[in-house]
Structure 1
Amino acid sequence: MTRSQKEIDVLLDQMIEDAEDALDQAFAERLKDILNQISGMYEKYSRRGELTISDLNRFNRFQEEMKQIVEMTDSLYDQVEQMIAILMETTYLENYLRSAFIYEYAAQVEMGFTAPTAAIIQRAIINPIAELTLPAFMEIHRNEIVRNIRIEITQGLLAGEDYSKMAKRIENRVNFSRNKARRVARTEAGRVQSVSRLDAAEVAGKFTKIQKVWSATLDMHTRSTHRHLDGQKADSEGYFHSSGARARAPHLFGIPSQDINCRCSVLFTVGGIMPEVRRSRKDDGKTQVIPYQTYNEWFRGLKSA
């Protein structure tokens, strides 16, 4: 059963990668719009190819230009928030139903699973910490990029930079924000992945005895606080413990340093049977199938090789 769950994880990870590609495209298109706006500023207000802060401040020009950039950014983040929300909803539904199928198959018991309603999905995917909800994240990131673009334009003008240097400043800022959006998408999708599997397991647990196990990614990028959790079973209350904190599954500590960009997942076993094989990832990104072993066992093998 755990092998089937890992196959679901591969599917879900591909969904996240596809969403990240779509986010990249959205940011690239909006960056082009913003750079066109700034190029127009140089064409309209510069004198002999030079644009100064005093030139742009005349007749409230700077505020008018920034107003249009803010509108572009607002539109971008509305789109980004919608894209991530769709990813979360799809992740929940796909993982819940696919997990339900393998639980029933493994136990050979009809468990009465039904497709969750839109209301159930929405309640399940909302982060219980108000400051960490998707709208809250997007509002912070939206305000941050607008503030940073304003700073870069002002500093570029004060330095007497031409358009090409200004464009590079803005590109760096937008790309930085793009990477943060990708991180939010992966983190939130990972959290929903855990929630949906827990919800399905709660139903299955009424029909068969299952055990919750932490599964980390076997590569050198797994954070040290999660390496020791790999292969461990949850305690009697259903929690995993790391660095004085506890969580019902990966992504659910409610602590940024534990949850952001986490690539671990939760697996459920029937009868305590663990998989015979698992995948490890090499430095070049390629994976290989190896006999099942925990992260610590795998790491010791690397050191002794």
Structure 2
Amino acid sequence: MSKMKERFKAINKLLDGMTTAKEKVIVGLYKKCFNEMYALLHKQYKQYQTDGILTFETMIKQNRLKKFETKMIQLLTMLNKDVGSTIYEHLRNVRLQGYYRSSWIIETMSKVKLGYRTVPTDVLEKSIEHNFTGLTLNDRLEKQRKEVIIRLRETVTRGLHEGQSIQTMSRAVQKDMGVSAGKANRIVRTESHRLIESAKHESVEHANKSGVIMVKEWNSSEDERVRQKHKANHRILNGKKLFIHEKFKQGLGEGDGPGMMGVAIHDINCRCFLVYEIVRIVAKTHEELAKLTFEAWMRERLVA
């Protein structure tokens, strides 16, 4: 593998590590919410249970169940807000890091002054809210909030009708919260991947237009989890090289690269990535660029 390919692969490793760390933060937010919900549930059992059993008939008296559900929804709404802000912060970070680190690699290895600029706020926000599934990120987070509310209301109501103990009901609530946390982290993983790959590609597109002609290569994770379906076969795409302006085409998908194929069957939970290499340079070179560290490049070469 060429040095440039290795550096692009290192970008993915760095940013994937950031994503994994953020997933743990989100799981922590769900655990905190569950603990608060358990305390709320425990209070109902302590006040209204008979021999360790809390019944539906008891809870519908004096609107107790409705009041409990209102407080539960408040907790989930706050959770959704915290998760949403955590996801947005992370996606902004990986989008910028993907673009700037790719730009640094290209300039220092091509030794061409390419005039990279800081990413405007409106461009950053637009890239985050891209909706290949027909739903924006905000839409998906709100959809998930409503789904977990319905699921938990059903779980609690069923538990009350069955006369479940607090231990049994809390385990069911915890399971529902775990499912929701998993879905939130799938959003984080999928969207982070899309933004990293699109940021790298955008940086390379700029270089390509400025005289540094490059090709891209699809890389799969080369394990048993790589998708291998007629409508989305990433084993076939592995190792395929194209010029930057060309589109990868396979099954139902067509796009610039992994995470950008435009259909969920290709893009959801995709772990493939692009690496790049220079095929020719048709611009003036500057030897001093080769020695710049990423930090020095950010200070000296990035134009506001």
> Which of 243, 247, 258 is matched with 1:239 structurally?
247
Structure 2, gaps ≥5 residues long: 281-304
Among 185, 203, 207, the residue aligned to 1:204:
207
- Say which of 5, 29, 32 aligns to 1:29: 32
Query: Is this contact kept in 2: 1:92–1:193, CA < 8 A?
Result: yes
Q: 1:237 to 1:98 in 2, by over 3 A?
A: closer
Whole-Å Cα distance in 2 between the matches of residues 158 and 128 of structure 1?
A: 41
Are 1:131 and 1:137, in contact at CA under 8 Å, matched by a contact in 2? no
Q: CA deviation at 1:128?
A: 3.7
Secondary structure of the 1:137 match is helix
CA distances 1:21-73 after superposition (whole Å, capped 9, x unpaired) = 10111011001001111111111121232211010011111111000000000
Cα deviations by residue, 1:140-184 (Å, 9 ceiling, x for unpaired):
110011101000011111111110000110010000111111111
**1:250-282 deviations in Å (ceiling 9; x for gaps):** 11123222111111112221128xxxxxxxxxx
Counterpart CA distance in 1 for 2:100 and 2:119 is 9
Structure 1 segments unaligned to the other structure (5+ residues): 273-305
Per the alignment, residue 297 of structure 1 pairs with none
Match of 1:215 in 2: 219
Residues 95-139 of structure 1: CA deviation (Å, up to 9, x unaligned): 101100111122110101122132221122221447331101101
Q: Does 1:269 align with 2:304?
A: no
Counterpart CA distance in 1 for 2:55 and 2:250 is 54
Corresponding residue of 2:88: 85
- SS state of the match for residue 266, structure 1? strand
Any residues of structure 2 matched to 1:143-292 within 5 Å, and which? 143-206=146-209, 207-224=211-228, 225-234=233-242, 237-271=245-279
Of 237-246 and 172-181, more deviation after overlay is shown by: 237-246
Give the conservation status (yes or no) of the 8 Å contact 2:215–2:243. no
Q: Is the 8 A contact 1:126 1:133 kept in 2?
A: yes
State TM-score, norm by structure 1. Answer: 0.86
How many residues are aligned here? Answer: 272
Deviates more, 1:209-218 or 1:112-121: 112-121
* CA distance, structure 1, for counterparts of residue 131 and residue 65 of structure 2: 40
CA contact (8 A) 2:226 2:235 kept: yes
Shift, 1:204, TM fit? 0.6
More relative contact order in 1 or in 2 (CA 8 Å, sep 6+)?
2
Name the amino acid aligned to 1:8. I
| Residue in 2 that maps onto 1:42 | 45
Structure 1: which amino acid aligns with 2:218? W
List structure 1 segments (4+ residues) > 4 angstroms apart after TM superposition: none
Greater shift in the superposed pair: 150-159 or 246-255:
246-255
User: Among the aligned pairs, what percent are the same residue?
Assistant: 25
Alignment TM-score, normalising by the size of structure 2 = 0.86
SS in 1 for 2:188: helix
1:13 equivalenced with 2:21 (yes/no): no
| Residue 61 (structure 1) aligns with | 64
Residue identity matched to 1:148: R
